[in-house]
């Protein structure tokens, strides 16, 4: 009640408050756009993912990455996590998957590699954990397989969002 009376008595406070709220909203929108954006090195222009569903999935995937992957693959996915030096095989640089695949992100291959349950094991041991089984144990329930596949898809979209473009 006092706030309403104060705002009526001093309209500039109301205007200032509105401007501050607007600036906060614009700052948040800019931060989200900057996180989702990629700068084209050739032109310097921002390239923003046009698919909001893909953006939302990559945000969820980032949380999964930080929980399960960053210890080996590092904060930025470059294969330099804190335990990487102790592993027999160096973790992959996950930021170069598109570059190694002629500029196309191999989402199906990434999902299969992360899942690990259908991997062909005749080529030696599997160095990366079988995350499909690990996620199934975390998400046990009647719809567990759908949730596991969704988590893996979200993680794949996050990995797609951190791809670096080759410099000419």
Question: Please, are residues 144 and 79 in contact by the beta-carbon 8 Å criterion?
Answer: no
User: Can you give the pTM of this predicted structure?
Assistant: 0.64
**77-108 confidence digits (pLDDT tens):** 999 999 999 998 899 999 999 999 999 999 99
Within 10 Å of residue 137's Cβ, how many Cβ atoms? Answer: 10
Bridge partners of 131?
none
Distances (CA, A) of 53 to 5, 56, 79, 138: 43, 5, 27, 24
Q: Strand 46-48 vs strand 37-39: parallel, antiparallel, or unpaired?
A: antiparallel
More confident of the two residues 121 and 90: 90
The two three-digit tokens of residue 84, written as one number:
């990487």
pLDDT of residue 19: 55
- Measured on CA atoms in the order 25, 33, 73, 127, is the torsion positive or negative? positive
What average pLDDT does this structure show over 129-156? 78
pLDDT computed for residue 121 by the predictor: 47
Say how far apart CA 96 and CA 91 lie, in whole Å.
12
Among 55-64, 121-130, 133-142, 145-154, the range scoring the smallest mean pLDDT is 121-130
Which residue, among 57, 36, 59, has the nearest Cα to 47 in the 3D structure?
36
Distance CA 85, CA 82 (A): 7
For the record, the structure tokens of 129 come out as 């954990």
Cβ atoms of 48 and 58 closer than 8 Å: no
Chain center to CA of 144: 22
pLDDT at residue 122, as a whole number: 39
């Amino acid at each position: 009640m006092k706030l309403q009376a104060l705002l009526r008595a001093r309209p500039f406070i109301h205007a200032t408050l509105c401007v501050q709220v607007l600036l906060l909203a614009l700052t948040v929108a800019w931060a989200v756009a900057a996180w989702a954006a990629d700068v084209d090195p050739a032109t310097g222009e921002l390239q923003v993912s046009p698919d909001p569903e893909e953006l939302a999935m990559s945000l969820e995937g980032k949380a999964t990455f930080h929980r399960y992957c960053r210890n080996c693959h590092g904060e930025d996915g470059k294969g330099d996590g804190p335990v990487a030096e102790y592993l027999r095989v160096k973790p992959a640089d996950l930021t170069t998957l598109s570059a190694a695949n002629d500029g196309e992100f191999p989402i199906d291959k990434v999902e299969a590699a992360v899942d690990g349950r259908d991997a062909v094991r005749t080529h030696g041991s599997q160095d990366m954990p079988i995350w499909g089984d690990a996620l199934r144990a975390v998400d046990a329930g009647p719809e567990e397989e759908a949730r596991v596949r969704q988590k893996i898809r979200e993680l794949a979209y996050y990995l797609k969002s951190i791809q670096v473009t080759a410099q000419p």
